[in-house]
Amino acid sequence: MPAMPVLLDTGIVYAYYDASDDWHARALSVFDELPGPFLLPALVIPEVDHLLGKRLGRRARELLYEGIVSGAYQVVDLPEAGYARAAELDRTYSDLDLGFVDAALVAHAEALSVPWIATSDRRDFEPLVAPLGLKLVP
């Protein structure tokens, strides 16, 4: 299967590490069935780190760090213009109450020309994907 870059949201990364999460099986399938690369926005890392530490403990956080260091994830930074785009998306879709991270994730997808977003947050992303030419996995 050819490369298929996938931008990762907080929920799907968290679910990968938490076997009790409702999205765990789907998160496993993302990483097992898609060729990647798996793009982890730098701004998502603190959210996942916090959730893992609070809910699962230190070892889960260490596994995340190992994934980053080993290259399982390709960490990507939001380009400077992405901040303005995130603010614009948050204003345009104010009824969704996106917040910075979700709006910035969409800005990332646009800036990197990556149409695929892996997320468990369907409420925020489903209204955005079609009008912006993006797609959700799984």
**pLDDT at 138 > cutoff 70:** no
Span 60-101, pLDDT tens digits = 999 999 999 999 999 999 999 999 999 999 999 999 999 999
**pLDDT at 123 > cutoff 70:** yes
* Mean pLDDT, range 115-132, rounded to an integer: 91
Q: What angle do CA 72, 2, 126 make, to 5 degrees?
A: 75
Report how far residue 83's alpha carbon sits from residue 67's, in angstroms, rounded to the nearest whole number.
Answer: 26
pTM: 0.94
**Residues contacting 124, CB < 8 A, separation 6+:** 96, 98, 102
Span 42-67, pLDDT tens digits = 999 999 999 999 999 999 999 999 99
- Residue 7 β-bridge partners: 39, 117
Span 13-36, pLDDT tens digits = 999 999 999 999 999 999 999 999
Report how far residue 49's alpha carbon sits from residue 13's, in angstroms, rounded to the nearest whole number.
Answer: 10
**pLDDT at 134 > cutoff 90:** yes
pLDDT score for 11: 96
110 neighbors 132 (Cβ within 8 angstroms) = yes
Query: Across the chain, which distance is largest between two alpha carbons, in Å?
Result: 40
Report how far residue 110's alpha carbon sits from residue 127's, in angstroms, rounded to the nearest whole number.
Answer: 16
Mean pLDDT of the chain: 95
Instruction: Name the CATH superfamily for 6-137.
Output: 5'-nuclease (3.40.50.1010)
* Domain ranges across the chain: 6-137
pLDDT score for 8: 98
Of the chain, the percentage scoring pLDDT greater than 70 comes to 99
68 neighbors 45 (Cβ within 8 angstroms) = yes
